[in-house]
Structure 1
């Protein structure tokens, strides 16, 4: 069954979402502050990746505990971004397996006691509270039951309130009818059951799951009944970030210009990841700036115009950090 359609948000503007996982380069911390110092247009930063390990209290941000000294500057900057209007979220899961298997609880399952869910969930809850995160992105790349993900979403809303942002990060085929994906449950059924609790989907249009070299994959998702304001088009920001499917900026810009004209409530873009983003790998904020420009140019159809726009970026003060 298709998702239950509801009205788009009034006055909606496309999101510019930056995933951030590589926090250090050659031992030097990679600052997020240029996103606000250069008015990049970024709306959300998602910190990756939170992992729930075998021991319930062994919660990790990548390979280290979240309170490790290496993350001190990250948490300081997160507060600055929030004060500047950028929402800062965490990402749970991803390619590493196990986090969602440990949280996969439902009342109908007699083999998994609620105490097991609580043991693994409570450290996650406490971590979110300690760092005042604005939301949580559920990147379910392992088998999880539909009742299990519903239970997790309900618990997060109960603990953090209606303004807490919950997103999911499916591969693009997960939002297409009858196509293989990674999560184990049907996203159309999830949207029908808990769409009011899910802000949007950070949809992965890369690694063979659907591309952004044209609008075909996004169009197919729209034909399946999804709301455009809830489908954020995810892309790689550098061909070395996570596999295959990188689309050059000039072509991405042309595709986005079509999408924002075709779907006035287009959900926006997300980039994996912030570090070393094209077109200026030493100044990663420029990717967000370019995305903001692209989604504002509703009438652009010719990729050549985008190339000229790219050249005009040289007039920006690229010495800004």
Structure 2
């Protein structure tokens, strides 16, 4: 599955964490299937939290079996039937994660490790997941972009370059966070630096905030379109984009959040939608987090008229909370 999923490039990945509005009304993902001109490749349902009590695994703030998630799990079955796959320390903590993946029939897992963890520990987890769920099970990780350039600029503790050397064959791709001070998606430069360092572009997905309300680093559409068009032209195996998060994605906002996916489909996967083209390798993935505790003008041959500013010295910082 890792090989076939990489063939479907560029990817369009969406995180779905806010599953109810303030009134408790379910936020449906079905428009990603029913609305025209959308070819989302993966939906990440976030976030599974492994808490201090190994038996108290939660999806956001409630147990995965809580009745509030009945509609969500039902919609995921529909998404899977439409060609969208889902991916939802040690034995005591691993068991509830294993059970949830089995019970919900998830297709893989996205490991968003935002507390210090050893290289040996993450390798052990990847090996166990592969052994338990087989070669078709999708395993992705969600590092901050800075971590792919400098091990010291990292939320996860371990060296991602070392992990790629040792277990890269088991990792489908990286949902790389180019926002909140850990990356810059307003120019193509940081992505180019990551590839120049040796990372394969098919494995680096650019993570974006879909709305300025969702975190620092939001990039307006006209500039983003220029950058992504350039990267797709520059790298034939461009890995794609990931959006954090679905429920209020621009330009449609809370009323039409699927419009972000329509724009990305038109830009990156033209001519496709949920029912056209090659069978989608779309996945619903569950995010696993740790516990509580000058001017550069884009190539005119591309028809791009937007000037892309060259950033000043990059200042790495983080302004999100542990719950984000």
What band does the TM-score fall into relative to the shorter chain?
Answer: 0.7 to 0.9
* Contact 2:151 2:160 survives alignment (8 Å): no
Corresponding position of 2:35: 38
- Is residue 127 of structure 2 the alignment partner of residue 154 of structure 1? yes
How far is the alpha carbon of 1:12 from its aligned partner?
A: 4.1
For residues 4 and 109 of structure 2, the distance between their equivalents in structure 1, rounded to whole angstroms, comes to 22
- Is residue 48 of structure 2 the alignment partner of residue 76 of structure 1? no
- Is residue 17 of structure 2 the alignment partner of residue 21 of structure 1? yes
Q: Deviations over 1:107-164 (max 9, x none)?
A: xxxxxxxxxx111101110000111111100001100000000000000000100110
How far is the alpha carbon of 1:303 from its aligned partner?
A: 4.1
How far is the alpha carbon of 1:300 from its aligned partner?
A: 4.3
Kindly tell me: are residues 180 and 36 of structure 1, through their superposed partners in 2, closer, same or farther at Cα, counting changes over 3 Å?
Answer: same
- Is residue 201 of structure 2 the alignment partner of residue 228 of structure 1? yes
How many residues align structurally?
272
For residues 153 and 11 of structure 1, the distance between their equivalents in structure 2, rounded to whole angstroms, comes to 22
Kindly tell me: are residues 8 and 212 of structure 1, through their superposed partners in 2, closer, same or farther at Cα, counting changes over 3 Å?
Answer: farther
Corresponding position of 1:312: none
* Contact 2:113 2:155 survives alignment (8 Å): yes
| Equivalent position SS for 2:212 | coil
* Contact 2:47 2:59 survives alignment (8 Å): yes
Kindly tell me: are residues 220 and 179 of structure 1, through their superposed partners in 2, closer, same or farther at Cα, counting changes over 3 Å?
Answer: farther
Kindly tell me: are residues 225 and 162 of structure 1, through their superposed partners in 2, closer, same or farther at Cα, counting changes over 3 Å?
Answer: same
For residues 115 and 187 of structure 2, the distance between their equivalents in structure 1, rounded to whole angstroms, comes to 28
Report the TM-score when normalising by structure 1.
0.81
How far is the alpha carbon of 1:177 from its aligned partner?
A: 3.5
Corresponding position of 2:267: 294
| Equivalent position SS for 1:180 | coil
- Is residue 143 of structure 2 the alignment partner of residue 133 of structure 1? no
* Contact 1:257 1:300 survives alignment (8 Å): no
| Equivalent position SS for 2:13 | strand
* Contact 2:15 2:243 survives alignment (8 Å): yes
Q: Please, which runs of 5 or more residues in structure 2 have no aligned partner? A: 271-300, 308-324
Q: Please, which runs of 5 or more residues in structure 1 have no aligned partner? A: 1-6, 91-102, 104-116, 305-321
For residues 197 and 296 of structure 1, the distance between their equivalents in structure 2, rounded to whole angstroms, comes to 26
Corresponding position of 1:273: 245
Report the TM-score when normalising by structure 2.
0.81
* Contact 1:176 1:221 survives alignment (8 Å): yes
Moved more, 295-304 or 285-294: 295-304
| Equivalent position SS for 2:58 | strand
| Equivalent position SS for 1:240 | helix
* Contact 1:258 1:300 survives alignment (8 Å): no
